Amino acid sequence: MSENSVLVVAFDGLDKELIEEFDLEHVKQEEYGSIDNKTGMSAQMTSELFTNFITGKSYEEHGVKGLKKNLKPKRQRIVNILSPESLAGKIRGFDFLRRNLERILDIERRKYLKEDIEAETIFEELENSRAMFVPGYNPSMLWTMMGFGKPLEYGYSSSEIIKMWDEQEYEHRKDELFSELENPILEPRDFLMCHFHRPDTHHHFFEGAIKNRGKVKENYGRSKLKKMYKETDQLAKEIKEKAKEKGYTHIVFMSDHGLPTDEGHNENAFYSCNRELFGNETPRITEFHDKILELVEG
């Protein structure tokens, strides 16, 4: 076992500005700051961002672009000619045009899996490591097969979908992580990474996010958003306590992006660590890979 052992807990979509607004004292550890999650793509997308994190490379090298893999690349090239991706998000109407062209041409996509990654990840580089529900690598079955929006097509309400995700995804991921940390036989792994999708799920299914593209309606209740953030802070507290008891030397909390806005996910990604990690610098999301290897391999 290495002298240093690293636990990374990713809270997908947890927004740095809201962390500060709601004063999440346990999420904010000794070192706390922003992550530079700009990748050169027009939007911050989960599969790509986490692949950047675990490979230390950009999409040009690891091949994961956006959220899902395109299964009909020739048809996508037609879309790219008629509505260039470089203009999406910059000129009003281009995102809408691209989505409609993709619908008309029946563009098929699926979530990325580790066999799609064209670069070595930290999980291959560190033998004593484990990935738990990491997007782009070994995402959960429910997220891979269904995603967030599918039940809406069948008439289920946002509150019903959030309840289902909390009960079947959030609780399951907590159980898996705590089972690992509480196992009396297992020593700390050199690297353990667990992903929680709950903040992003709640952001996307707010009434405002569905109807107003990210503008949170007061009648939904700012208090409900704050409640979810406070529950995340309590989870962070429990994780820290169990991880320290287990013997993890470095505990890292992070997010890949922040609250959805009119343009999609925003740049309000954060990280924190119980020890010094990057100092006063703002790390790029690709820089965590080498930093973790440096800590573990000494």
Judge whether 222 and 247 are in contact, CB under 8 Å.
no
What is the tens place of the pLDDT at every residue in 234-266? 999 999 999 999 999 999 999 999 887 665 677
Contacts of 200 (CB under 8 A, 6+ apart): 12, 13, 46
pLDDT of 49 over the 80 cut: yes
Length of the chain: 298
Quick one: what percent of the chain has pLDDT higher than 70? 76
Would the pLDDT of 183 be above 70? Answer: yes
Q: What is the pTM of this model?
A: 0.85
Q: Which domains does the chain have, with CATH numbers?
A: 6-63+112-297 (3.40.720.10), 72-107 (no CATH)
Report the pLDDT value the prediction gives residue 216, as an integer from 0 to 100: 43
| CA–CA dist 260, 246 (Å, integer) | 35
